Structure 1
Amino acid sequence: MWNSSKYIHQFDLGDEWTDSQIWKYAKENNLTIITKDSDFSSRILLHTPPPKVIHVKLGNMKMSPFYETLKNLWPEIIQLNQDYKLVNVFVDRIEGIM
């Protein structure tokens, strides 16, 4: 799912980058930020894309079920990401916010 040239991990850019640096980089490169951090979803509500934000809100979950859940939901997440600036991903639903 994320092991492709379509995705850049923040660690590859610099583990010491601040949220503002990540935001600026994503904006300049027309990227979507995928995060578990509510700071990015709060920020996008006050701005227009780019970047867009996918906020993963699955709670505490072991890695295997976490990846399996995202793998199953990923096609719908990507579809919503085309039309919405914020996509919130919950265990029981996915919601898009303009």
Structure 2
Amino acid sequence: MPRFLIDENLPYKFSLWKGEDFVHQYELEDIKSDKEIWGYAKRNQLTIVTKDADFSDRIIFADPPPKVIHIRIGNMRIKEMYQFFEKNWEDIRSHSRNYKLTNVYKDRIEGIE
């Protein structure tokens, strides 16, 4: 089963992202730079979930691990964002199993091999 590293630019308190399948960057005190996050995710077979385009740019020229889920839904209130993920998380997760990069938009989910 895939495991996920939730980047610091996404809400920490979402109940959807709690449990043994999720590591939050906030919990990794010594890992701050994109390079360190990438290395940690690679060593631990994690999929990076982020709003940061740097990770999706990097995966285009790399082979997994890690995989990347790039959240491209723009700015939303926390409640709206939670509702979006509650409704779409299983589809997002399913896409990420088959693609090295999963782009998530408000109206669609796209996978790139």
TM-score norm. by structure 1 comes to: 0.96
Deviations 1:15-48 (A, max 9, x none): 7610000000000111000000000000000100
Whether 2:76 is the aligned partner of 1:61: answer yes
Deviations 1:55-90 (A, max 9, x none): 001101100000110111111111111110000000
Please report the RMSD computed on the Cα atoms of aligned residues, expressed in angstroms. Answer: 1.0
Q: Which moved more, 1:44-53 or 1:13-22?
A: 13-22
Which residues of structure 1 form unaligned runs of 5+? none
Q: Name structure 2 gaps, 5 residues minimum.
A: 1-15
Closer, same or farther: CA 65–80 of 1 in aligned 2, 3 Å: same
User: 1:25 and 2:25 equivalent?
Assistant: no
The number of residue pairs the alignment matches comes to 98
In structure 1, how many angstroms separate the alpha carbons of the residues matched to 2:47 and 2:31?
19
Normalising by structure 2, report the TM-score: 0.84
